[in-house]
Amino acid sequence: MIQQFVEIFLLGLTIFFESGGDGYQSKIAHGWVVKNRVEHKLFADTYDEVIFHPKHFSCYNPTEIEKHKKRLNSNNKLERKSLRICMNIADSIFHDVIPDNTDGALWYAEKYEYRNGKKKLLKRKWMNNLIISTEIDGTVYYKLKGEK
């Protein structure tokens, strides 16, 4: 029971940190990527191992932690509401109440990056063996080629 609470809490925090000001569907998608990883053979099989794997979720990079601690300690009503929404989404994803809106995605990235003031399609080496699963609010969700 306590382990389940911890997993839902960690999932909710990750959704909150990763999704920032994104919309409801993006928050759901970010959460499903975590759950999809927990259930996939390529990744660890616990939420904490998936979430805290180095360099997998940028919100836990050392340079990002302070920003997110400030968000948690904020008295901003919008931030508090967003955190409650993310926790509810996490609980619903954990218990399979909300369907997977990513079609099994295991990764995500912003569609564009900005370099020298110019908007450019984001392309990274790690994306080479992946296919686009879906796109939600400017974020592209990826899965392995050949998987359903």
Residue 40 per-residue DSSP state: S
Helices 24-39 and 77-94 sit at what angle, rounded to 10 degrees?
Answer: 40
At residue 44, the pLDDT reads 95
- In this prediction the pTM is 0.89
Full set of structural domains in the chain with CATH = 2-144 (1.10.10.2520)
CA dihedral 13, 97, 77, 71 (to 10 degrees): 10
At residue 86, the pLDDT reads 95
Share of the chain above pLDDT 90, in %: 57
Using 70 as the pLDDT threshold, list the residues of the chain that sit under it. 121, 148
Length of the chain: 148
d(CA 107, CA 126): 10
The first and second tokens of residue 77, run together, are: 């009503």
